[in-house]
A and B are shown apart, each in its own frame.
Chain A
Amino acid sequence: MGENYALELKQITKRFGSVLANDHVDLTLKKSEILAILGENGSGKTTLMNMIYGIYYPDEGHILVDGKEVSIRSPKDSHHLGIGMVHQHFKLVDVLTAAENIILGLPGKTMLNMKKVTAEIQALVNKYGFDIDLSQKIYEMSVSQKQTVEIVKMLYRGARILILDEPTAVLTPQEADRLFDILRNMRDDGCSIIIITHKLQEVLALSDRVAILRKGRYIDTVETAKANVQSLSEMMVGAKVDLDIDRPEPVSPQKRLEIKGLTCRDKEGIKTLDDVDLVVNSGEILGIAGISGSGQKELLEAVAGLQAAESGTILFTDADGNQKDLAKMDSVEIQELGVSLAFVPEDRIGMGLVGDMDMTDNMMLRSYHNGKGGLLDRRGPRQLATTIKDQLEIMTPSISSPVRQMSGGNVQKVLVGREIAQNPKILMVAYPTRGIDINSSHTIYKLLNEQKKHGVAVICVIEDLDVLLALCDRIAVLCGGKISGVVNGRSATKEGIGLLMTKHEKGGEQ
């Protein structure tokens, strides 16, 4: 009975204190198939995978590999059973080459014959059509190449069951397509693959079957061919969901920010922004598209005063028509000028929030210096934390538990909630829904739209072009630090934007 299955989980239960992370979960993975695991944040996907990979040990239940019951107590055990996992955050040594990383930690003879090993790995690379140079150092590689190294590492260890945790979160659409081709090759070669993702389109494009988890419980496994976006998201959430993103007409847009000839360089002296011209209007959402690392982060940070501009101007126009140049100011000076500028950075814990502090203390991060005297006033922030927790339905034991312990979606709600509470004139958000489930994502889109209706100039960097096209009034495309074009969000196409994403020329409004 069990021999068709590469992996079977029976009645797996895992508790963390009083929290039930997995509640009697059953799961089957056939040989030669790609199984997608779908579920909102906190539904127990990662916990389940960690048990298969030996990071956690289940409290109850059985795991069967190739029909035989096994006990996986450490990642070493799972390697022996041919299970490999590629984590969201790569576990590679930067200063070593790809080949060195791949063999790292493997037992071997006293003398290492690097040539022979490299040839073996190269054979594996050719077989599946990977695109990497084994002698390249990790720090010289792009994110997608690093991911490839992780996959090859697992295959070289003889993995026949591969688990990928949100592999496309860091990839461009083209890179994701290439990854999918490779995964299909591996499946046809007899590998079984589990992929965890939030993106329903990818699930439909890639997987053979989809298993759905909700709040730690196993809901169902369905054939991908018989599913669609609507049916999957309903199973995930457990109720009907509205997947349409609203796009109200802009209300009397006025020029709020005018960027002219903005150029920035990084520490190595390489231009991260190159002669950027851009106008941002009040009451509209301006989207920023581009392959990751094209200057999106630098553009937002330059406006926020966190990145020094080499040349160019950033003219801010307030409601009375007064103009101020923000290009030469740092974040403190901008704040002192009274330019209310909200910024939700890409790095939520690490820039936007302090992980070890609770919600109250995080609320004060941008406002603690207001008020007289040298002592802190925690009353206002505490009230704000309570309000935001209720309004945005943030799931946390209390406002005094550290934000580090919250799930990604809740962390983002805390951050966005705080920034909006400043009553900003300009709201900048970077990757607001990366790694966040459907429901929370839509809450955040709604918040952005509300701000737009209040006349705020909203700038958002989003990697998902479908969302960008549904949400934004205008979309500026960055390529290599240049603006290669600004298109109308209502009439532009994905293909058109895709072309601009690789066009290394300065372009204007279309």
Chain B
Amino acid sequence: MKKEPFLKMSRREKISWQKRLMIRIAALLLSLLVCAGVIFLLVRMNPFDVYKAIWDGALGSERRIWITIRDTMILLCIAIGLAPAFKMRFWNIGAEGQILVGGACAAAAMIYAGDKMPPVLLLVVMFVCSALGGMVWGMIPAVFKAYWNTNETLFTLMLNYVAMQIVTFCIVFWENPKGSNTVGIINQSTQAGWLPELFGQKYGWNVLIVLVFTVVMFIYLKYSKHGYEISVVGESENTARYAGIRVRKVIIRTMAISGAICGIAGFVIVSGASHTISTATADGRGFTAIIVAWLSKFNTFIMLAVSFGIVFMQQGAVQIATQYGLNENASDVILGIILFFLIGAEFFINYKVERAKK
């Protein structure tokens, strides 16, 4: 008996952007449908109530909208920082550490120079310090990689823990009130080193800083000579040497930029959002941003959309946790299912699956 395979897969050569979008929307709808099923089976609740609660949690009031925007910007900033490193195939999973070091530098400037400088100068100093801190933290593994070919994945990961210990150590000196083992809100009375309002919005500066990075990084990666060098080094170091690119220089330079932007994300968190520093300042966002960067294929504008989607779900999670007494992990389950479908959709974008014809 001759048996035919049931399904046939073949690589697509071209696909229109409309079709691409259709596939992604279909994946999103399908994932919501599956989530609904899962919610119903697990907790016997009307999935639409849960969805509505998620929506309310993220966008239900002006305050919530601004928190969603604030967190989106921070996640986006980190993802922008990671993009050049990952494009170079440098597996920088050390954004957590780079954020913490950047944040600690900003906090240090706030604490020690808070009452000694004019406010604008203080903010500039904080910005520069956090960028330098992140830059150093990013360059350490890059130098070791460039000169001794160490494994950057392990190196950057371990530096995260070193950064955490440094912050723990700093807290001993900065704790306020004494004995609380936390730093507390820094400069609460003077608000020195806090990002001021812009256009009447509390988080205006956060948005402006990150959107500038979004545009600049897009151009840097796509249209600059440096960006071209990053792609070539990422593809093959042999080709890079052949093309007359100094590979070591590119690795170190790219990681300096990557680390600096992650450090600035630390500044945005400390100066523009939390006004404090702790080991939880990065809060796993250094890892979440990796998903954002890859899912967007390093296009910074798509990163904006992806960051928003993820923060939207996280904010919604907090809401369903309080409103229905569900565990916060419930939204992780939902987010996981959605991401699974969205990443799975890439397969259908690259391949065509047909029923085998007789």
Identify the A interface with B (CB < 8 A).
15-19, 57, 59, 69-71, 73, 304, 306, 331-332, 335, 343, 345, 347, 350-357, 361, 364-366, 368-369, 374-376, 397
Contact = CB atoms under 8 A, between A and B. Distances in A.
B10 A16 contact: yes
A120 B306 CA distance: 58
Contact of B242 (A16, A17, A18, A331): A331
B235 A343 contact: no
A71 B2 contact: yes
Contact of A332 (B5, B12, B224, B244): B244
A18 B244 contact: no
B19 interface: no
B63 interface: no
Main secondary structure of the interface of A (DSSP, over half): loop
A368 B233 CA distance: 14
Interface residues of B, number: 31
Given A350-B236, A353-B239, A376 B11 contact: no
B242 A332 contact: no
Given A71-B4, A376-B225, A369 B244 contact: yes
Given A57-B5, A365-B243, A350 B238 contact: yes
B4 A365 contact: no
Contacts of A15: 10
A17 B350 CA distance: 12
Contact of A376 (B223, B246, B356): B223
B228 A17 contact: no
Contact of B228 (A73, A306, A331, A376): A376
B168 interface: no
A366 B236 contact: no
8 contacts: A17-B10, A17-B12, A17-B13, A17-B352, A357-B231, A361-B228, A375-B224, A376-B228
Contact of A18 (B13, B223, B225, B357): B13
Contact of A365 (B3, B224, B232): B232
B13 A374 contact: no
Count chain A CB atoms within 10 A of each CB in B10, B239, B246 and give the residue with the most.
Answer: B239
A347 B10 contact: no
A306 B13 CA distance: 36
Contacts of B4: 57, 71
B226 interface: yes
A224 B196 CA distance: 86
B241 interface: yes
B224 A376 contact: yes
Given A18-B13, A355-B235, 20 more contacts: A16-B10, A16-B11, A17-B12, A57-B8, A71-B4, A73-B5, A304-B242, A306-B241, A331-B242, A331-B244, A335-B244, A343-B242, A350-B238, A350-B239, A351-B242, A356-B235, A369-B244, A374-B224, A375-B225, A376-B223
Contacts of B11: 16-17
A12 to B, nearest CB: 14
